[in-house]
Structure 1
Amino acid sequence: MVETVSRIERVERLRVSDSVAAQLTQLITKGVYAVGEKLPPERVLAEEFGVSRSSMREAIRSIEASGLVSSNHGVGVFVVSNTVVSQAASDLLVFEGFTVPELFEVRRMMERDAAGLAARRITPGYASELQDILARCADPNLSNEEFVKLDFKLHHTIAKASQNGLLATIYSSLEPMMVKYSHRVIDLPGRREDSHRGHARIVDAVVAGQVREAQSAAVAHIRDVERDIAKNIAQPTTPTS
């Protein structure tokens, strides 16, 4: 009997507790909870954030590990610092008043359907435009700022290629948020290369008129961003001198 080797890799996802920890970090660094102040009880915080107590507990453990709070069993959790030395998870997980997992949920829904419709309704003009944008993104001399602009243009062009005017208009309204956030994550290790590979898979499927493949490639593209952010958050940080 021939043995098969499993090539399945664990799919890393952002957790609810990561998002809660990021928001708590922002509240502390902005002084909403001052140094020396006692945080509300875990039960109260869980209700305010709309999460389970286990997720709340995990979030508190996370910010305690970062040195912002200290737990005193039987007494409570107190803020002991309002400064983070390295890039905080809040920079990657909370943005413009929304959590990044919320942004990804919206993108998964919109981009999956946009890619599927574009593959079904692709025209030679849009196919040529998408391939041109993809070729420009491959230029190694392209600055990150230019890459981010082309990144949004590619996704917006796919939305337009769906030939659903409302979908394209809604997607266009996300441009300020998506461009600003892309600037935050573009420097993550391998992010630009992963992004370009994801774009290539989406464009290839759309241009070929492969509806299911285009939808799958669009969702996988968003999952890849989540994976890179999750890995970055999981890595221990070294304080700078």
Structure 2
Amino acid sequence: MQTEPKIEPIKKSRLSEEVLKRLQSMILDGTFSTGDQLPSERELAEQFQVSRASIREALRVLETLGFLYSKVGVGGGTFVQKVSIEALLNPFSEILGNEKQVIIEMLEFRKLLETEIARLAAERHTDDDLINIEKSLNEMRSDIAAGGIGVAGDTAFHDALATACHNSVFENMLSMAKGLLVKTRQTTLQIDGQPEKSLSDHIEIFNAIKDRDMVLSEELMLNHILKAQKNALENLR
């Protein structure tokens, strides 16, 4: 008779984990920016109303993830780290900052990955895939018409293409980098006129995919990303 596996009960979240989530959120929303010094352990413990041990553990994990770094001696303390690609692509962390170099490097990554996704989507898409892609276009169009920048629809469009290429590795790679992709889109779509231009590009790509034109789909996606890269170089500091 097979022995049933022992399953441990789910434990309540530790205070250090809650502190970690709160601090990470404050970094991500800009409360603490790159280079800022965090309050001392004692001050954080008082503000969060937890022990210094919980604060210390949360800070240690955030350092491991690449969000923070420590300095000793005069002027020492815990500071918000400038983001690295390793930290940004860590599946257990989210996105920090929108430094120009990181955005440019992410666009280089997209040139390699998303051009092939567009080509495969043109070859392999189903009717349901086309419905999902068109839905993302409508979402972006509605948001722009209402005065937004269309980032949710933009993200949904590229996600729908990844699904339509029917390659789980490509889809998972895009998903792993999704946080950074959203952050870069939020930044580039802030440029005047960019939301409308991006939507126009998406419509052209969609039509090429719908027509199963693999070469044109790949070419249009490459041009789309190259234009985003050019805008980033010219407008971001």
Q: Which runs of 5+ in 2 are unaligned?
A: 1-33, 37-96
Cα offset, 1:229, TM superposition? 2.0
C-alpha separation between the residues in 2 aligned to 1:219 and 1:204?
15
* 2:29 match: none
Which contiguous aligned blocks of 4+ residues in structure 1 show a shift greater than 4 angstroms?
none
Among 67, 86, 93, which residue is 2:100 paired with? 93
Cα offset, 1:182, TM superposition? 1.6
C-alpha separation between the residues in 2 aligned to 1:164 and 1:120?
12
C-alpha separation between the residues in 1 aligned to 2:98 and 2:159?
25
Instruction: Evaluate the alpha carbon distance shift between residue 233 and residue 179 of structure 1 in structure 2; reply closer, same or farther with a 3 A threshold.
Output: closer
C-alpha separation between the residues in 1 aligned to 2:198 and 2:107?
15
Paired residue total:
142
Say whether the 8 Å CA contact 1:194–1:224 is kept in structure 2. no
Residue deviations 1:144-202 (CA, integer Å, cap 9, x gap): 3xx21221111011011001111111111111111122222221111111111111111
Q: Quick one: which amino acid aligns to residue 100 of structure 2? A: L
1:110 aligns with 2:113: yes
Among 176, 188, 191, which residue is 1:188 paired with? 191
Mean CA deviation greater in 154-163 or 132-141: 132-141
C-alpha separation between the residues in 1 aligned to 2:161 and 2:152?
15
C-alpha separation between the residues in 2 aligned to 1:92 and 1:213?
32
* 1:163 match: 166
Cα offset, 1:233, TM superposition? 5.0
Instruction: Evaluate the alpha carbon distance shift between residue 191 and residue 92 of structure 1 in structure 2; reply closer, same or farther with a 3 A threshold.
Output: farther
Q: Which runs of 5+ in 1 are unaligned?
A: 1-28, 32-89, 235-241
C-alpha separation between the residues in 2 aligned to 1:130 and 1:225?
20
C-alpha separation between the residues in 2 aligned to 1:122 and 1:30?
46
- Higher RCO (CA < 8 A, seq sep 6+): 1
1:1-241 map, 5 Å: 30=35, 91-94=98-101, 99-139=102-142, 140-141=145-146, 143-144=148-149, 147-233=150-236
The percent identity for this pair of structures is: 21
Per the alignment, in what secondary structure is the counterpart of residue 138 of structure 1? helix
TM-score, normalised by the number of residues in structure 1: 0.54
Cα offset, 1:216, TM superposition? 0.4
C-alpha separation between the residues in 2 aligned to 1:91 and 1:158?
25
Instruction: Evaluate the alpha carbon distance shift between residue 233 and residue 103 of structure 1 in structure 2; reply closer, same or farther with a 3 A threshold.
Output: closer
Instruction: Evaluate the alpha carbon distance shift between residue 233 and residue 176 of structure 1 in structure 2; reply closer, same or farther with a 3 A threshold.
Output: closer
What do you get for the CA RMSD once the two structures are aligned? 2.1
Cα offset, 1:231, TM superposition? 2.8
